[in-house]
Amino acid sequence: MAVVLRVSGRNARFQQWKALLGNRTKRQRRGEFLVQGVRPITMAVEHGWQIRELLYDTSAQLSSWAREALDTVRAEKFAVSRELMHELGGKADTVPELLAVVALREDNLRRIPVGPTMLTVVFDRPTSPGNIGTLVRSADAFGAGGVIVTGHAADVYDPKAVRASTGSLFALPVVRVPSHQAVLSWVADVRADGIGMSIMGTDEYGILDAAEYDFTQPTLTLIGNETTGLSSGWREACDQLVRIPMFGSASSLNAATAATVVLYESARQRAATARR
């Protein structure tokens, strides 16, 4: 394994990596982000994302996983001091043995799979990167084909979002779109191709309980902002508003939790239909 560069001080290269962690504009300008964690890095490699750089701890006894990645993944390799790896790793109590710089994927709705059983989730103006990652993880777990993040929102590629997705960000198409109009134009094209996609929004005042909605049809499932819910534009676009029944003293559910409940109900209905 050839070492391209050894980094032991806070030089320009290190400052670039540091910026990828904390600066959304720098991530977008460079078209890349820093990935922490064994599973996220593994998933990025397995799902064919472009790995531009691999950083490893010079003082660590590397695991077989890390050695295999360094030997097999086509990327620039950097031997980085333990102190700097700790600073980039995002955890106070551990030092990562490996970090990856990965190229961003294109924000294009053509990445979202289309078909008669399609289930796509829209997260409207989320403010929490952790909620984005958690929703992506649930969408992956319960069979959604893709996630669309609309409006002025937290960054899909924020380290907190990437970590919360536990690698699902790399397995599922996740696309950022500036406004709901572009998504509705895409929906119109999908419908024009003969796929009767329904737009379903989650709302505490919805007419139907989630279990009463037919999730076996092609569906665009809308999850609103954590504080204000769905925008007026999305609310007007909905074919149906669905509520999640609640019985305790809690006034509402976390947005990502609400999405998980709805996605589970979708998976339950689709599995029951498949068994018939």
Summarised one tens digit per residue, pLDDT across range 13-58 is 999 999 999 999 999 999 999 999 999 999 999 999 999 999 999 8
In 3D, which of 171, 132, 151, 179 has the Cα closest to residue 42?
171
The amino acid that residue 253 corresponds to is: L
User: Rounded distance, CA 97 to CA 163, Å?
Assistant: 16
pLDDT of residue 2: 56
pLDDT of residue 225: 93
pLDDT-flagged residues of the chain (< 50): none
pLDDT of residue 172: 97
Summarised one tens digit per residue, pLDDT across range 145-166 is 999 999 999 999 999 999 999 9
Residue 156 makes CB contacts below 8 A (sequence gap 6+) with 132, 136, 149, 169, 174, 176
In 3D, which of 173, 170, 175 has the Cα closest to residue 46?
170
Look-up: residue for tokens 């709901």? Answer: 180
